[in-house]
A and B are shown apart, each in its own frame.
Chain A
Amino acid sequence: MAFIWPAAVPNAGNEIPTMLIKEKMNQILKDMLDYEAGIDAEAKPPLLTFDPGETGI
């Protein structure tokens, strides 16, 4: 099946839409842990610590 690169945001080149995988990952991250990468330099990124009380997982 030729599933096009979502037309809402057209893709001009001929590249493999690997971004979609990362976007999905970030969507999950936002939903589950309410975290966005690269916003707060002081914040501890999720899964980069051992916290037995970590929630959302």
Chain B
Amino acid sequence: MRIGVFICKCGTNIANTVDTEAVARKALEYPDVVYATDYMYTCSEPGQEEIREAIIKNRLQGVVVAACTPHMHEPTFRRAVEKAGLNRYMFEQANIREHVSWVNKDRESNTIKAMDLVHMAVEKLRLNQPLFSSKVPINKRVLVIGGGIAGIQAAMDCSDGGLDVVMVERETTIGGKMAKLDKTFPTIDCSSCILGPKMVDISQKENISLHAYSEIESVSGYIGNFEVKIRKKATYVDWNACTGCGECTQKCPSKKTYDKFNEGLGSTTAINIPFPQAIPKRARINAESCLYLTKGKCKKCEKVCPADAIRFDMEDEIITEDVGAIVVATGYDMFDYSVYGEYGGGRYPDVITSLQYERILSASGPYGGHIVRPSDGKEPRNIVFLSCVGSRDASVGRPYCSGVCCMYIAKQAIITRDHLPDCNCYVSYMDIRSPGKNYDEFIRRAQEEYGINYIRGRVGKIYPKDDRLIVQGVDTLMGVQMDIEADLVVLATGLEASEGARELAEKLRISYDQYGWYMESHPKLRPVETNTAGVYLAGVCQGPKDIPASVAQGSAAAAKVQILFSRDTIETDPQVALVNERVCISCGKCIEVCPFGAIQWKTLRDGSQKAEVLPTVCQGCGLCNATCPPKAVQLQHCTDDQILAEVNAVCE
């Protein structure tokens, strides 16, 4: 092979502490190197031109550039060698800036290290093979998992862009947590009034197919070509026939069913439509409380249903959808307030969660929007809001800030004062976090215009006294003990990863952090991408955020899908694993360790089974190669022999 070596000075970035000329001279001693030079800015247009000219003039077959990190300019240089007629993978980059000149000032040792790195790159290049990517078509349908506001936004934006959308929602209705909210900060506009029309749009768009009360069973395939199995859970009601008239819910005798939509305030019937604006507005039988399904007697709903939609023999059904991209918008759940035993959540009926309070405030809620206590239906005179219940507390495994509680406390307190001007509102807070447009002003309004008492300090204990609750804690600004007699205590429970988030992540092969929040590809620069190509994130599933941010991220995810789908094919990266079938001993270990499900069995014509890498799914992580005992799996462009050659070069 005829190799050319180009040492970049990077202005003074490299040249100040590396003798680039000496490195270039030394490079000529390495095997196969026929040309070596240094240059001021190799990445510049004239620098690239020099590479191209040198390739042609010296009939070079491979190029080494010693410069910055390949993250920065590998694509640049690959294009440059490609323009001169070489295969783009006949190129190696040695990082002598981040790894050398920027981390050490000693010119002499830096120069030696740069020489070593160039030597390694040369030795690796000598074993490089030309690689070629292939093109695979893209299925331009998108799956949106989760029908909360983030998923709705992503689905609408994709749909408006002309894409076919499949939406999967775990509950019987879309709308997510936002549908449960009364009003939204900082404008106090009605949540369901702004969400409702969007939900209706989802149901009316012809290019959106909605699978409600469904969950993801499995995901296989890869970017552009996912195959998703969806479990449509049994509702015991034929939704094609059901008109959502609600007759059945009037007649159902099982009236003590847990009301999930109302956060357990009050109860509902076994056959139920969660709320009047539900989309789809269809009834579902709760198999755990239905008299017929548990005790074999009743069938009242079947008798009254004018559409003959009841199907007691219904079973879960698995359907398959083929899509090219996936937007994950699975939202969150609320922290379990009973973890703080000292607050009595779950024991005292008048210690409630913030989401329960939303349902109390809501005009369509269980109390018709009248603020009353769950215990006795009386209007409260004193309400205490406790912030950071399950946020910023490492002792309960929730060291992070949930981001929205300070704002919703202010909102709830303001609405409370609007409804009941004589009711005193106290807020026990640690810090107030209100970054956002018009957010801090909103908090100030709560404090100054609405007379809400903000007390800095943590509550230690809540205990009942007569029919009231004593909230005991410390006012850390005044340095005095705080004892408030409250009629109602609202715990501002924090946000936590949605139930089942981890399991779904495993199916999607995306990563999650220790709290179950999904990991974005880069915390700043790739906030909606995941490390699995073709899977994008929207909303709180990626980490706590408010409605505007969720909506923005929903739109951003949709934009990413549109970008992907703007092409008809995707080029695969050939730097992936490849199995040498003659060496494969069919142990299947690679299949088990592959984090991406990129390896499968292949039956040869002689009947033997060998491992086969799906190049479109493979991310080139190399776990299979590390696991393979006879090293039948090799990573293209980073083979064992190449690594050994580099090691030999540096250890010589």
Contact = CB atoms under 8 A, between A and B. Distances in A.
Are A and B associated in one complex?
A: yes
A49 B590 CA distance: 9
B345 to A, nearest CB: 29
Interface string B591-616: 01111000000000000000000000
A48 B589 contact: yes
A47 B627 contact: yes
Contacts of B595: 50, 52
Nearest to B594: A50
A32 B623 CA distance: 20
B592 A49 contact: yes
B593 A48 contact: yes
Contacts of A47: 593, 627
Contacts, number: 16
Contacts of B593: 47-50
Contacts of B512: 52
Contacts of A49: 592-593
B508 to A, nearest CB: 13
Interface string A6-39: 0000000000000000000000000000000000
B207 interface: no
B511 interface: yes
Contacts of B589: 48
Interface string A33-57: 0000000000000011110100000
A50 B627 CA distance: 11
Q: Which of A47, A49, A50 has the most CB of B within 10 A?
A: A50
A18 B592 CA distance: 29
A49 B591 CA distance: 9
A52 B593 CA distance: 11
B592 A52 contact: no
A47 B595 CA distance: 12
Interface in B495-554: 511-512
A51 to B, nearest CB: 9
A50 B511 CA distance: 12
A50 B595 CA distance: 6
A50 B621 CA distance: 12
Contacts of B623: 50
A50 B592 CA distance: 7
Interface in B574-597: 589, 592-595
A49 to B, nearest CB: 6
Contacts of A52: 511-512, 595
A52 B512 CA distance: 9
Interface of B: 511-512, 589, 592-595, 623, 627
Interface of A: 47-50, 52
15 contacts: A47-B593, A48-B589, A48-B592, A48-B593, A48-B627, A49-B592, A49-B593, A50-B592, A50-B593, A50-B594, A50-B595, A50-B623, A52-B511, A52-B512, A52-B595
Interchain residue pairs A-B with the least CB separation, the first 10:
A50-B595, A50-B593, A48-B592, A49-B592, A52-B511, A48-B589, A49-B593, A50-B623, A48-B593, A50-B594
